[in-house]
A and B are shown apart, each in its own frame.
Chain A
Amino acid sequence: MADNGDDDSQYRIKEGDYVVLKRGDIFKAAQIQLKKKVIFEKQWIYLDNAVGHFYRTTFEIGSGGTLHPKKSKELESSTAAKEAGTDNRNIVDDGKSQKLTRDDIEMLKEQGLKGQEIIQQLIDNSSTFKDKTEYAQDKYIKKKKKKYENTVMILKPSCRILAMMYHGREPGKICHLRHDTLAQMLTLANVHAGSKVLVFETCSGLVLGAVMERMGGFGSVIQMYPGGEPLRPGVESFGFPSHFHDMLHEFPICHVNALLAGTLDTKAKDPNTGTASPPLINLEQSILTTGDSQQNKPEVKQQGRSAEEQSMEASSDANRSDDQAKEDREKRKEAKSQERKVKLEEKRKKMAAAAALLEGRNADGLVIASRFHPCPVLLGLLKFLAPSRPFVVYSQHKEPLIECYTKLKEVGGTVSLRLTDTWLRHYQVMPNRTHPLLLMSGGGGYVLSGITVSVDHSKAAGSPQAEEPAPKKLKLTNTEG
């Protein structure tokens, strides 16, 4: 209750804010941009009028998609029925109980009647409504409300809301990671402010954003990414303050082996000297593929790209009329190559910074959730963790995690391995009508978790080459003894 005006401003919707639209259980992420149409639940709306209102305000969608803040509770009580039946022994399904036709309803809509008024009309024109039981009446109204009420609530984004939104709208984009599973991962990995966490994900940035939210801008997150560029469209939806991005680093997964072997050269400056180190050549390749949003294999992408370039050159050759165009092209080419150089340098710097963080091999946590096979990812990235640190691997399927489990047992260096999944059940809680919801999510994926420990050196000495003859020797000594 000790609020000042300044403190309040963060609870108001501002232009440029990332928000989440909600109707019923449907969510959609959006940004508040003036005069910009947003489509939500088959309706065009403009968010302009939301600016200045508090978050969690419910808006009525007017004609032309404009928003009007709904007066609080103006309609909740009006539909309360006075009469109700006790059972349905006299209710006959003759298809004639509703006196309004489809055309009548369309006409009401065109007249600009509010959803609430249409529902009242439907009730008044239903011959069986007052014979229905109280519960059935409730259910009827709820169903009609869902169909005719034109409201939208605007929420501040959070991991809870975005995880539910992604799972509801685009589960394929987040490897079917359900929000309760994500919750388990964040907790099992002990994600908290001040730590250094590695994240490898192909979940649109949802997992990365969730990790960043839990760290509150304290510590560092290193995103290990496949392909040419880190993809994180979902991170934007969180609407983090800009300083959160200072803790976010990125490192391409294709250089992990070089980094582990100590052959990664992040200091080389000029890619054009014939002696450019291999990582830089790779770097240039990956920048060539930057334009593509999908993370396919770089080689494939590059082939496609060069073919495109060739055809472009061919077509320009066809109309080789004026020198002006040629000069322009030359200039553009130069500007482009300059731009590319700047980009390359930027990228090199970023990679060097991330490499410096990784080199200590003292990260505090590892979170993996991707469409790639988790086994090589886990075995590779675990090497960057300090001993006694937790890690979690998500997979939509159980079998790859069984393999991870088996491999980790073989390699050693981890304890407390657990392969789990969670089961989530929602309840309807109402007077005299409490029961589990009829529909529940079939599966939210699987999680393998564990804790790193110092590698046993006596075991490590028995390297793969030495392992073969070892059992024989053992047997020999056994028989001797």
Chain B
Amino acid sequence: MSFVEYSDHIQEGDVAIIYLGHDSMMPVKVQQGAQTQTRYGAIRHSTDLIGKRYGSKVTCSKGGWVHVLHPTPELWTVTLPHRTQILYTTDIAMITMMLELRPGSVVCESGTGSGSLSHAILRTIAPTGHLHTVEFHQQRAETAAQEFRQHRVDHLVTVRNQDVCKDGFGVTGVADAVFLDIPSPWEAVKHAEAAMKTQGGRLCSFSPCIEQVQRTCEALAHQGFEEISTLEVLLRVHDVRTVSLPLPDFGSLPSESPERTAAVAVKTTTPPREIPGHTGYLTFATRART
């Protein structure tokens, strides 16, 4: 297993995702002799996981069963331990495309946070790209670095524990893309520019409040960034349902037989009762070559 390469069988040291049911998943570190408790009973790693194929059905001690899935950045995003607010797949997908990330891209990111976006970036830029990620919170930086080692992607990433607004990204003239998810991104725009290749590159800033967007856009324009564009992308999930619509009784006509269908079944979708209405504004910009 690695987050950037599929493998068929579960091995010791892997992170496997236990799929318990709709929207219910948990990550496990696979270790000889270890056990994981689920609501369907215990899973014994040595016999139930190691050597099994990813995607297999595993019967737990109470007779219930679960599926074991290969980790992906998307599954990690919905199961990872939160140390901060995180970015979710909908925004990540948009960021990845709009920053034009691909194998070989060199990316700067701050802050690292819980590493939700970092894993998605690493997946996309592997095997020849590199991620320089900056996190000013020491413990978070250390935990992220540890996670990258565990997920076997540490050769693709450098974690720096410093303040991006004061000290920048720790690299200059190397980045194809810069991503900012910090409270005052406008203070980091200069450093973002310094980190970028002289031939130019793309920038994205994620901010929940419009005032932050306003200041960031001003800073970007002032710094000579082009193609400044702010957008918002929201996910709508459609729950597939069969609904039964009863037919009113109009009273039977003399010619009709008395048995009539009393309802019509319709396959349709319903929106969830509550949906996330706002995550953040995404501001993109291009830096022309200088």
Show the binding face of A for B, using Cβ within 8 Å. Answer: 1-3, 8, 11, 54, 56, 158-160, 163, 179-180, 182-184, 186-188, 190, 192-195, 213-218, 362, 364, 386-390, 398, 402-403, 405-406, 415-416, 418-427, 429, 431, 434, 446, 451-454, 456
Contact = CB atoms under 8 A, between A and B. Distances in A.
A193 B55 contact: no
Contacts of B208: none
Interface centre among A190, A405, A420, A423 (most CB of B within 10 A): A190
Interface residues of B, number: 69
B161 interface: no
Nearest to B93: A187
B97 A159 contact: yes
B220 to A, nearest CB: 10
Given A56-B286, A192-B124, A429-B214, A388 B100 contact: no
B144 to A, nearest CB: 20
Most chain A C-beta atoms within 10 Å of own C-beta, residue among B97, B120, B218: B97
Contacts of B237: 418-420
Contacts of A451: 19, 55, 69
A388 B75 CA distance: 11
B175 to A, nearest CB: 12
Given A402-B240, A425-B232, A454 B100 contact: no
Contacts of A187: 74, 89, 92-93, 96, 120
Interface in B189-242: 197-200, 210, 213-214, 217-218, 226, 228-240
B145 interface: no
Nearest to A22: B227
A188 B74 contact: yes
A339 B214 CA distance: 64
B268 to A, nearest CB: 7
Given A160-B100, A186-B96, A214-B102, 17 more contacts: A3-B173, A56-B200, A163-B97, A180-B94, A180-B233, A183-B97, A187-B120, A216-B104, A387-B55, A389-B70, A398-B269, A425-B233, A426-B229, A427-B231, A434-B213, A451-B55, A453-B67
A140 to B, nearest CB: 20
Contacts of B94: 180, 183
Contact of B72 (A190, A406, A419): A190
Contacts of B98: 160, 183
B269 A190 contact: no
Contacts of A387: 53-56
B234 A402 contact: no
Contact of A422 (B4, B90, B172, B198): B90
A415 B236 contact: no
B126 interface: yes
Contacts, number: 183
Contact of A424 (B233, B268, B281): B233
Contacts of A179: 97
Contacts of B45: none
Nearest to A430: B217
A163 B103 CA distance: 19
B97 A160 contact: yes
A56 B289 contact: yes
Given A190-B123, A427-B213, A427-B281, A213 B238 contact: no
Given A388-B70, A451-B69, A429 B217 contact: yes
A216 B103 contact: yes
Contacts of B152: none
B100 A158 contact: yes
A337 B180 CA distance: 61
Given A415-B67, A431-B218, A420 B238 contact: yes
B235 A420 contact: yes
B73 interface: yes
Contacts of B12: none
A446 B233 CA distance: 14
A220 to B, nearest CB: 13
Contact of A405 (B54, B123, B240): B240
Given A1-B172, A56-B286, A188-B74, A159 B100 contact: yes
